[in-house]
Amino acid sequence: MKRVMDIFLSLILGGLLLIPMLIITVAIRLSSPGPALYWSDRVGAMNHLFRMPKFRSMRTDTPEVATHLLQQADSYITPVGAFLRRTSLDELPQLWSILIGDMSFVGPRPALFNQDDLIEQRTALGVHQLKPGLTGLAQISGRDDLEIPIKVSFDARYLKEQSLFFDLYIMWQTFLQAIKREGVHH
């Protein structure tokens, strides 16, 4: 049922958001050199790597580490990037990853390939079995404000309690937080 919902929603949202995504693409290309999409190596279900697209919000010379680990992260953000990150619009291309089955709408956020501590903690608790999500319980419970062990505890709770209604609740809370722009840094 979850996979059917993922396919259905990603097709519907992809169609509805096609024009805004084209506008974002043009804005990125006009405001900074480089491609509009950034493809990041991420850890998926069973710790398999996959390539995840995002609208590029950082300069092309940005080191490949989690944003909170960058020295002077704000200096790497593009003129349009700050807006995209604040509104979470940089995440829209991940509808493609959901459509092809690398991700789901709800699950733990995909770790960067080099976030060994996060990957190790998730694997120890069995969270690595889940497809990563566009949003998740940790996202609505603090997002960038959470330390890794706390994020992993939310991911483990989601693993135990996942259901269609829980997913709908998480998606609704994500929508509300995106409107309020809560828990986002950089």
In tens digits, the chain (186 residues) has pLDDT values of 899 999 999 999 999 999 999 999 999 999 999 999 999 999 999 999 999 999 999 988 887 776 666 677 777 889 899 999 888 899 999 999 999 999 999 999 999 999 999 999 999 999 999 999 999 999 999 876 789 999 999 999 999 999 999 999 999 999 888 777 655 544
Q: Which domain holds residue 65?
A: 2-180
pLDDT of residue 73: 74
In-domain check, residue 36 = yes
Give the Cα separation of 60 and 37 in Å (integer): 11
In-domain check, residue 185 = no
pLDDT of residue 63: 77
pLDDT of residue 186: 46
In-domain check, residue 169 = yes
pLDDT of residue 181: 65
134: Cα within 13 Å, side-chain hemisphere: 29
pLDDT of residue 178: 78
pLDDT of residue 48: 97
* The residue type at 179: I
In-domain check, residue 31 = yes
Q: Tens digit of pLDDT for each residue in 68-108? A: 666 777 778 898 999 998 888 999 999 999 999 999 999 99
In-domain check, residue 104 = yes
In-domain check, residue 165 = yes
In-domain check, residue 60 = yes
In-domain check, residue 186 = no
As for how many domains the chain has, the answer is 1
Give the Cα separation of 127 and 152 in Å (integer): 8
